[in-house]
């Protein structure tokens, strides 16, 4: 079964850091484009980042997280990571990882993990 | 960045109705548009890609159309399980963006 499972969320203070994990099964992250998408409480979806398939692991980021968030992967563990630095209160929300297949949308999503940034 | 504007923001309908949701892009995105359905507390679900291609196992009552800057999602003969929030998303250029969402609620 193709599946994504996020972990690592929690409550942090503004300015602190957090690392989210996205464990994949049923497919290989090295050969897939995997995204992070977030949703603030009661709000819509916001695309955060993508790590492209292939050996170079090319990345793209949304403007609001560029320079603060970093996406990476561990191929042997078949896991994607999102490092969240210099967190702000408006980074609070549910974070999803999602696979995208070529020329299509994001077809497999994790269950989501909650990040709360508050003092 | 490409802005996506959905209309309406909320849509009240009854079971059996046919409803349409519009999505307008600030710049041409070809047909690189996806539609998602999201229910409360759940992850989004892919419905359509490349504007008019139906994702596997999605009921045929869902259809999409459009290209360039004007797109729409139509749900024919609404079923109880279709009451949800719908989002369009462009993947023509980075950063990818979503519309603000359209909530389809029971009249």
The pLDDT tens digits for A3-53 are 999 999 999 999 999 999 999 999 999 999 999 999 999 999 999 999 999
Q: Which residues on B lie below 8 Å from A63 (Cβ)?
A: 1, 95
Distance from CA of A50 to the nearest CA of B (A): 10
- Is B38 in contact with A45 (Cβ distance < 8 A)? yes
Which helix (H) or strand (E) is B24 found in, with range?
strand B19-25
pLDDT band of A57, cuts 50, 70, 90:
confident
B8 cis-preceded (ω within 30 degrees of 0): yes
- Is A47 in contact with B48 (Cβ distance < 8 A)? no
Q: Taking CA atoms, what residue in A is nearest to B96?
A: A47
Whether A27 contacts chain B with CB within 8 A: no
The pLDDT tens digits for A63-102 are 999 999 999 999 999 999 999 999 999 999 999 999 999 8
Q: How far apart are CA B46 and CA A95, in angstroms?
A: 17
């Amino acid at each position: 079964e193709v599946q994504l499972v996020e972990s690592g969320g929690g409550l942090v203070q503004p300015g602190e850091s957090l690392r989210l994990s996205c464990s994949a099964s049923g497919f290989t992250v090295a050969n897939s484009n995997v995204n992070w998408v977030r949703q603030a409480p009661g709000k819509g979806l916001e695309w955060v980042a993508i790590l492209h398939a292939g050996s170079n692991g090319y990345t793209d980021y949304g403007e609001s997280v560029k320079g603060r968030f970093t996406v990476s992967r561990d191929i042997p563990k078949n896991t994607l990571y999102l490092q969240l630095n210099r967190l702000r209160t408006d980074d609070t929300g549910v974070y999803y990882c999602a696979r995208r297949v070529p020329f299509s949308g994001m077809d497999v999503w994790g269950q989501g993990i909650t990040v709360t940034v508050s003092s | 960045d490409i802005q996506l504007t959905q209309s309406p923001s909320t849509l009240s309908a009854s079971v059996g109705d046919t409803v349409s949701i519009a999505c307008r892009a600030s710049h041409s995105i070809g047909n690189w548009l996806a539609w998602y359905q999201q229910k409360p507390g759940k992850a989004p679900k892919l419905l359509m890609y490349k504007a008019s291609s139906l994702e596997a196992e999605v009921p045929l009552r869902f259809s999409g159309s459009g290209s360039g800057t004007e797109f729409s999602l139509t749900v024919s003969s609404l079923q109880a399980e279709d009451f949800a929030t719908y989002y369009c998303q462009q993947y023509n250029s980075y950063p990818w963006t979503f519309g603000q969402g359209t909530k389809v609620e029971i009249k």
